[in-house]
Structure 1
Amino acid sequence: MSQVTNQQEVKEGYAFLSHEELVQYVKKLGLFHEQEQASVEEVSDGKINHVYRLSGEQKSLILKQAVPYCRVVGDSMPMPLDRVTFEAKVLQEYDRILPGSVPKVYYLDEAMAILITEDMAPMETGRVALINGTESTVFAADVGEFSAKTVFYTSDFYMDPIVKKELNASLTNPLMRQMTEELHFDWPFNFHETSHFEEGMRNDVLFLSQDQRLRLEVAKLKHKYMTKADALLHSDLHSGAIFMAEDRTVIFDTEFACFGPFGFDIGQFIANLFLNGIGHPEFLSKRYEQAREAWYTFADTFSHLWKTESKEHYTQLDGYLTHVLDEIFADALGYAGCELVRRAISIAQIPDLNIEEDEQKRMASRKKVMELGKYLIMERNNIRSLEELKNWFV
Structure 2
Amino acid sequence: MTFQFDVYKPLTEESAISLLKKLHFFAEDEHVTCREIGDGNLNLVFQMSTQGSTKKWIVKQALPYAKVVGESWPLTLKRAKIESEALLQFAKFTPHLVPEVLYSNETLALTIMEDLSHLSIARTGLIKGDSYPNLGKDIGTFLAHILFKTSDLGLSPTEKKEKAQQFSNPELCKITEDLVFTDPFFDHDTNDFEPELSEKVEQLWKEDELKLEVAKLKRLFLTNGDALIHGDLHTGSIFASEHETKIIDPEFAFYGPFGFDLGHFIANLLFNALRRPPAQTELFGFIHDTWETFSSVFTSLWKEDKNNPFLQVNGYLDYTLRTVWQDALGFAGCEMIRRTIGLAHVADLDTIEESELRIRTKEIALDIGRSLILNRVEIKNVQDLHEFYIENNEFLGNNARTV
- TM-score bin, normalised by smaller chain: over 0.9
TM-score (norm 2): 0.93
RMSD over aligned Cα atoms:
1.4
Deviates more, 1:302-311 or 1:237-246: 302-311
The 2-side partners of 1:35 and 1:206 are apart by: 61
Match of 1:80 in 2: 76
1:274, distance to aligned residue in structure 2 (A): 0.6
1:366 aligns with 2:362: yes
Match of 1:36 in 2: 30
Give yes or no for contact 1:37–1:56 (8 Å, CA) kept in 2.
Answer: yes
Match of 1:285 in 2: 281
Q: How does 1:324-363 map to 2 (within 5 A)?
A: 324-363=320-359
The 1-side partners of 2:216 and 2:28 are apart by: 56
Q: How does 1:79-158 map to 2 (within 5 A)?
A: 79-158=75-154
Distance 1:254 1:132, change over 3 A: same
The 1-side partners of 2:360 and 2:33 are apart by: 43
| Number of positions where the alignment pairs a residue of Structure 1 with one of Structure 2 | 384
1:172 aligns with 2:168: yes
Give 1:52's aligned amino acid: F
Distance 1:216 1:310, change over 3 A: farther
1:22 aligns with 2:35: no
The 2-side partners of 1:131 and 1:143 are apart by: 19
Structure 2 counterpart SS, 1:63: strand
1:289, distance to aligned residue in structure 2 (A): 2.1
Give 1:286's aligned amino acid: E
Match of 2:40 in 1: 46
Give 2:74's aligned amino acid: P
- 1:88-109 CA-partner distances (Å, limit 9, x unpaired): 0000000011122211111112
Match of 1:4 in 2: none
Structure 1 counterpart SS, 2:112: strand
Give yes or no for contact 1:158–1:310 (8 Å, CA) kept in 2.
Answer: no
**Candidates 4, 7, 32, aligned match of 1:13:** 7
The 2-side partners of 1:310 and 1:205 are apart by: 50
Give yes or no for contact 1:157–1:310 (8 Å, CA) kept in 2.
Answer: no
Give 1:81's aligned amino acid: L
Give yes or no for contact 2:305–2:311 (8 Å, CA) kept in 1.
Answer: no
1:389, distance to aligned residue in structure 2 (A): 2.5
Structure 1 counterpart SS, 2:97: coil
1:390, distance to aligned residue in structure 2 (A): 2.2
The 2-side partners of 1:359 and 1:270 are apart by: 25
1:16, distance to aligned residue in structure 2 (A): 1.2
- 1:56-114 CA-partner distances (Å, limit 9, x unpaired): 24211001111111112102221111111000000000001112221111111211111
Match of 1:188 in 2: 184
The 1-side partners of 2:37 and 2:11 are apart by: 15
Give yes or no for contact 1:224–1:261 (8 Å, CA) kept in 2.
Answer: yes
**Candidates 257, 269, 274, aligned match of 1:273:** 269
1:161, distance to aligned residue in structure 2 (A): 1.3
Structure 2 counterpart SS, 1:100: helix
1:260 aligns with 2:266: no
Give yes or no for contact 2:81–2:104 (8 Å, CA) kept in 1.
Answer: yes
The 2-side partners of 1:209 and 1:296 are apart by: 35
1:333, distance to aligned residue in structure 2 (A): 0.5
The 2-side partners of 1:225 and 1:44 are apart by: 29
1:12, distance to aligned residue in structure 2 (A): 7.0
TM-score (norm 1): 0.95
The runs of 5 or more residues in structure 1 that have no matched partner are 1-10
Give yes or no for contact 2:97–2:138 (8 Å, CA) kept in 1.
Answer: no
1:56 aligns with 2:50: yes
